[in-house]
Structure 1
Amino acid sequence: MKLQGKMVLNALISLLASLVLVAYIIFQLLNMNAQNKELVPTLLNIQKLNGTLMQISQGLNNYSATMTESNKASILNELQKAEELVTQVASGVLPSGEEQEWVSSIQTKFGKLKGETEQAVNGQDSPEAKRQAIRAQGIQNDLYMLNLLAEARYEASTRELENSIQLTWQIALAGAIVLVVAVGAYNVFVSRQLAGRIRRLNEAAGQIAEGNLMVEIAEPKGKDELDELGRSFRLMKNNLHGIVHSVDQAGRSVDSLAQDIDQHNDTMQEIVNQVAAATEELAVGSQKTAEDLAVTVELVDEMSQLFEANLAGTAQSAAYSSEAVRIMDKGSREMEEQLRVVAANRQAMSEVEQTVQTLEANAQEITQMTGYVSEIAKQTTMLSLNASIEAARAGEAGKGFAVVADEVKKLADQSAVTAKQIFSAVEGITAAMRNVKDSVARSMELSREQEEAAALTGQSFTEVSQQVQQIAGHLDTLTADMNRSQHMCSQVQEAVANMSAITEQSAGGSEEIAASTTEQRRSFALAAEKVKQLRQIAGELQQELQRFRL
């Protein structure tokens, strides 16, 4: 398997393990949600049934005072709703235990209440309607006890749910730790394997670089990129071994041939020296030589002028390089200042982000308190409705109380409207804070990118400054070499002048013999120099080859 496939397999294993852990958490949350799915509607139905029984009791009281068809229809309608709610409450409680006993009592009492109430309203029996209103209150007492049991069961379920949530998160945390440890151990194992294989190749490369071609490289058995690299490296080592061996043999042959040529060349050099000595005696004071020396003097003068011009240009270049180094140092300091400003900006952005998070928390608290206000407004509305009903029952004496109930209802409605407006305002503030948070995140990202770019620029300034400093150093060295060359040129001028004076004193000699002898000497000297260079190269080659162990 290729290295890429191994890495992908490693990532897939980690991903699958993470998905299993997430699936377990989701399953536990769904199970917890299912446990409370039936209990909450039961509590709501109990509250609704309590309100309906209250309406029935008030309706019967009103009917006993005013026996109208509208009151009768209202009572019968509320009885129908109450019957449905009793059925729903009965289906939502536990099938056995104290809750079932209270439900049975409520069903029995409600059955009697419904039958006798229908007879009372159909027969327009006012005292009986009054008694049935009191019976409805008795059912409310049983319903209150059932509500206490249901709330107790709800609290127990809530505690069990909290324990289940805590256990789930503990298991999830333990699973995550085990997953991280397992994945980390697996990654360390794979990394060590790869590092070991790379280290072995690196050690072999280091030994080959030191000249040890006897190092053994095992034949790879896999098919990934490192195994292919090992096979190629092994082939390269074998080829290099053959090449070094061939070069060693060729170098020995060249050295042997150069020694023979050097010996013959020494013999010929002695002969030429003898001929040259005789020729020099004949060619002393030759006019031709004097003319050549005069031309040489002119050339040396021109070369001296060129040296002076090059020396001035080199000095100017060195000055420019020093100025460039100063400018680069200034740019580096400015880039460091820019990095400091970017870091300060990034710190300020981080503080803004923390402030926005604090505002979000405050907005959530406002939303929660507004919800409390809205709930209080709903309860106030219910109380005002009950007060209006009681005021209507009181007749003329309850008119003042009815006015107060209406004002309370208006106040509750205004509180509900205000709560909605606060909800809307808080949602707007939350949206604006999200936008600010996103803007701060983008600004921090831009600051980070700017900081990285500034760091790279500062590094480039440093590298350029180092290169310019190296160039300045080379220019200083070149200036010193140019000064030495100018001094040597002056010495050459003096030597040529002396040779010209001596040559002018030369009186005779054979030009053909002198020219031929001079050419032969130059040829033999050149040949001797080339042979020496060849032997030197052969010696260097042998010295380099001695580094390798074949």
Structure 2
Amino acid sequence: MSTAASVSSLPPGTTDLAPARLSRSLKLGTRIYGLSAGLILIVAVIAAIGYVGLERQGNALLDYIRVSQATEGTLRFGWEFTRVRRHMANFVSDGSPVEARFIPEHNQIAGEQIAQVASRIGNQERKVLVDEIGAEFRKFVRASDEVIALRNGLTQAQAAFSEADTDIATPQPGDSDAAARLRAALAIVQSQASLMGSTISVAVHQGYMRAAPAATAALAALPPGDAPRLQATAPAFLERAARLATAHERLRQGVETGFNEMANRLDALLLTLIERQQAFADQVAAQAADASDAIQRWMLIVAAASSLLGILLCIFVVRGIIPPLRAMTRAMVRLSAGDASITVNGSDRGDEIGDMARALDVFRRNADKIVAMMSAEAVTLEIGETITAAARHDLTVRVDLANKSGFLRDIGVAINALLQGSSDTLRDIGQSTRQVASAVAEANVAIGQVSGGARSQNTAIGQVTQALAESAKAIRMVSTSANAASEKGVMAAHMVERGQVSAEQLARTVETIAQNSRKISQITQVIAGIANRTHILSLNAAIEAARAGEHGKGFVVVAQEVGKLAESAAQNAQQITDIVEQATADAALGRTASLAVKETMDSIAGDVSQTSQMIRSIAVAMEEQQATVTQIEANVVDLRGIASGNAVAAEEITATMIQLSLLADEQRQRLETFKTS
């Protein structure tokens, strides 16, 4: 026998501390469920952090979209406001009804735009500013209506002045000096009145105010009867000119003190609103960048902690399963080779490995009995062959007593004695057929010895039968334990399969996070498109402002600020795209890690399957051994029957000794068929 080997349930050099005892008491299902729960917890933490990050990014994105929409509405309002001013300038200049028709339309569009801007702004400070712009714009609309009415009045006054007799200002032959002076003054008044219809300025009004008194004085200085037609028409001419001058002055004051002042206030308020929107957009971008940095830091921290926790969980599960299973496998291999000197440790464990260790220890304890039964089977076969040869009349064969001990040696000695006695008896009978009486006496003695040996043989065979029954019972117990261990292995394989399913679900969850990241990237592309369109609108606004000339100078600054805002929006959208691409890459790394976990679970499933197969092989071997022992037991029962038959035969020989003398001749003839030494 080899030196005793130790099969330990702990790795070499490991102290049996509290964590080790906890590891030895945990079931395999508990280990696998714990590992799965740890992995699910890691995924839940990563998903929660990703959800918080996506929520913050989404809020920042919504704020940025609102700012962009409000900015776009502000630009549209400014554009319509500029067109109103341009049409108003043209209308005031030439009084065209077409220009007057455009002004209310653009005022209505601008009012709708500023109302939409007010509905899209959530910040209270900017909302107050937009409401103030709306109130000022309503005042501006009323001022526009007043200017239109004044310009229509000027047009009517100009038409009435045109109906006057303008020939009175033309010098006539034969006019006196007073009439000539009056006509010259009236010509100056006529020229100033003509300028009032197309030029709204203080200089024109002042020119009229200088010319009108001079004409009135010249009319008063005209002698009665001198140029009677001139004296009759000049007062009406001067009166219409005065009404035209009054309408001109009222229009000038309405434009300069009403319309232009309100327009300038609206320009200032629009510029302030755009500056505040730019500041808010910069604030939103900064908040988004800060949130992105914080999320990246947390993702790195959680990823590192999750990796460390996953490694520790895997080490905990693997070290608690693989080394004991390998040691148990080596012990089973040695035990199957006939080495029953192993020492099986780990039976104090509370898991399935402890159950296997206890079953293996039972099998080890019964190994000596199994070896003894195998030896008994060989000796029994040898005895059977000897008896078979004797039954064939060969009494020279003997049972080899070498390497035999106990009741098997006693059986061999008894059979050898039986054969030797039979051989001697037959030889003596052959030699002493003439001395039948003496031979009969000797035969009685020999038969008595045979009867005693048969009884001894019958007793020994009964002991062998009992030992074989105990061995068969022990083998059935080992087989039952092996079958139970096989069922435990199947259960462990199912648990590992459920762990594989959990790992696959983890991979699908990480893939879902990657898909959400790609959706966010698509949204940022939409934002970049909005920024590009806003930039194009700012360029168009700058072009239209340049076309407007002096009236569009204020809007050039607005267009430039909007262009800068669009560029800033495009840059921020690109930053968000870079962040989302990094999140997608991190999700891909998470998916790779989940696949690695799945491969590890597949490896564990393979090891558990191999262990279960080995246990099933042991169960099959035990069933075959049980069948063999059953067959040996049946043979021993037959042998016992033979021994009983020998005893009965010995008694019958004693009863028939009287007839032996009569059969001496017949017996001698039969003795010649036996081979004796």
- Normalising by the smaller structure, the TM-score range is 0.3 to 0.5
> More relative contact order in 1 or in 2 (CA 8 Å, sep 6+)?
1
Larger helix proportion of the pair = 1
If the length of structure 2 is used for normalisation, what is the TM-score?
0.37
Larger Cα Rg: Structure 1 or Structure 2?
A: 2
